[in-house]
């Protein structure tokens, strides 16, 4: 598969220049000016060409909850949003506690062949918080373990899991929320669990990734842990940096105060935030009416983040690429996230002049649950490229929207 992208503004974490990019056999083979190749040519003039986005934290609901989302609908939503690699959480039915369940997910994802799917295993068996015995049958296909959706309340169990993860070079993704306190005060629940898990990570040497950090106190603990040498990374979500608690939209953890948002953005500017992750959590209309927490976020992530962070002058497009592409690729140990010779040809064309209102009724995801419906945004994904193959094109004045599956 060969593809030549011409005259694009190439922007990743470390560059911002007009270049041609040639992809051969799925790999970025040549970058330069006035390249000439006998292959498919994509005109990038007037657009930004960036590494495709990588999501460390998504829920595709398969198996068990496919009325909310499935691997195909989730993958289609991902490529429309500019994503080509997705890390899925384990809270399915049955839970991804066994290689049998995990292998079925990975095999179906390979058959769909839209995005690279990586599947977490649960930290505790069936998310019950009682045993980690199932971890001993995991294969190297699994790189992350997480009980996302709830915290591991038993500190001894979490310690045992971290010891195991250190031995097997796994990363623990922590849903830092103390289940015993969450009904009393969600802020206290997040802050206490964040402090505990960082302390356990320092004690064991385990790689710890903290999901959806939302309070300034939790972020302060992350900063302190990093300064003390803990192997800690963290993510924030688009909704926790673009919205505040007055939004009254149910997510877990909840939206916080403006002072939390401002502190997290400052931490982002100071390089203490590693990743922007969607926590894509689609629901049916009825489940959402019944109070299910979560946002369908893959299709709105880039425009929301570009509008809030870059348009408002908080960070550069280079920094946004680092948070949405380079750093998640590094944490997931993928050969993606930068536009350099030898890296995977997973790229996205972006129109940063496009201004429009989000229409969540038109999502490719089965879940249309989003507080961003009708929001005015700047920045649109025009084309998604995976391994040199165009897999998505947005609607233009000349063409209808197109997706390869």
Q: 38-74 pLDDT, tens per residue?
A: 999 999 999 999 999 999 999 999 999 999 999 999 9
Residue 316 is predicted with a pLDDT of: 99
**Where do the DSSP E strands lie in 35-137?**
40-43, 48-51, 53-58, 83-88, 116-119
Beta partners for residue 347, in sequence order: 51, 385
Alpha-carbon dihedral 119, 121, 126, 130, rounded to 10 degrees: -160
User: Does the structure show a pLDDT above 90 at 398?
Assistant: no
The pLDDT mean for the chain works out to 98
User: What proportion of the chain, given as a percentage, has pLDDT over 70?
Assistant: 100
Percent helix, strand and coil across the chain, each rounded to 5?
A: 35, 25, 45
Looking up tokens 């599947």 gives: 119
Relative orientation angle of helices 99-112 and 71-80, to the nearest 10 degrees: 50
Encoding tokens for residue 374?
Answer: 């009708």
Q: State the catalytic residues.
A: 279
Distance CA 177, CA 206 (A): 19
Q: pLDDT tens digits, residue range 186-228?
A: 999 999 999 999 999 999 999 999 999 999 999 999 999 999 9
Mean pLDDT of 356-376: 98
Q: pLDDT tens digits, residue range 3-44?
A: 999 999 999 999 999 999 999 999 999 999 999 999 999 999
Burial (CB count within 10 angstroms: exposed 0-12, middle 13-18, buried 19+), residue 228: exposed
Q: pLDDT tens digits, residue range 301-343?
A: 999 999 999 999 999 999 999 999 999 999 999 999 999 999 9
Q: How many CA atoms lie within 13 A of 201 on its CB side?
A: 29
Looking up tokens 């149910």 gives: 250
| CATH numbers and ranges of domains, the chain | 2-50+344-358+371-403 (2.30.40.10), 52-326 (3.20.20.140)
User: Does the structure show a pLDDT above 90 at 135?
Assistant: yes
Q: How many CB atoms lie within 10 A of CB 224?
A: 14
């Amino acid at each position: 598969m060969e593809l030549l992208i011409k005259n694009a503004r190439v922007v990743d974490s470390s560059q911002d220049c007009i270049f041609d990019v040639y992809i051969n056999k799925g790999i970025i083979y040549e970058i330069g000016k006035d390249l000439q190749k006998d292959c498919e040519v994509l005109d990038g003039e007037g657009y930004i060409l960036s590494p495709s986005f990588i999501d460390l934290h998504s829920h595709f609901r398969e198996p068990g909850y496919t009325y909310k989302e499935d691997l195909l609908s989730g993958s289609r939503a991902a490529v429309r949003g500019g994503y080509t690699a997705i890390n899925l959480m384990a809270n399915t039915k049955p839970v991804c506690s066994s290689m049998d369940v995990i292998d079925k997910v990975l095999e179906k994802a390979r058959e769909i062949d839209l995005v690279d799917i990586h599947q977490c295993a649960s930290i505790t068996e069936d998310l019950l918080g009682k045993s980690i015995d199932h971890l001993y049958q995991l294969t190297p296909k699994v790189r992350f373990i997480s009980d996302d959706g709830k915290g591991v309340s038993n500190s001894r169990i979490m310690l045992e899991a971290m010891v195991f993860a250190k031995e097997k070079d796994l990363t623990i993704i922590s849903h830092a929320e103390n289940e015993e306190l969450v009904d009393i005060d969600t802020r206290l629940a997040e802050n206490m669990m964040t402090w505990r898990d960082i302390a356990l990570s320092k004690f064991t040497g385990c790689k710890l990734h903290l999901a959806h950090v939302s309070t300034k106190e939790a972020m302060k603990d992350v900063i302190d842990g990093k300064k003390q040498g803990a192997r800690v990374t963290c993510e924030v979500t688009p909704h926790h940096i673009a919205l505040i608690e007055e939004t009254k939209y149910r997510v877990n953890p909840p939206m916080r105060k403006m002072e939390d948002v401002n502190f997290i953005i400052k931490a982002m500017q100071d390089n203490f935030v590693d990743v922007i992750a969607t926590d894509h959590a689609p629901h049916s209309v009825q489940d959402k009416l019944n109070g299910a927490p979560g946002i369908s976020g893959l299709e709105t992530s880039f425009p929301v983040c570009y509008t809030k962070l870059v348009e408002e002058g908080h960070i550069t497009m280079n920094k946004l690429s680092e948070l949405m592409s380079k750093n998640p690729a590094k944490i997931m140990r993928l050969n993606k996230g930068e536009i350099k010779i030898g890296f995977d040809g997973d790229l996205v064309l972006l129109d940063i002049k496009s201004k429009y209102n989000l229409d969540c009724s038109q999502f490719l995801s089965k879940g249309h649950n989003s507080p961003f419906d009708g929001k005015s945004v700047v920045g649109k994904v025009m084309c998604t490229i995976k391994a040199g193959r165009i897999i998505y094109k947005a609607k233009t004045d000349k063409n209808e929207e197109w997706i390869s599956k």
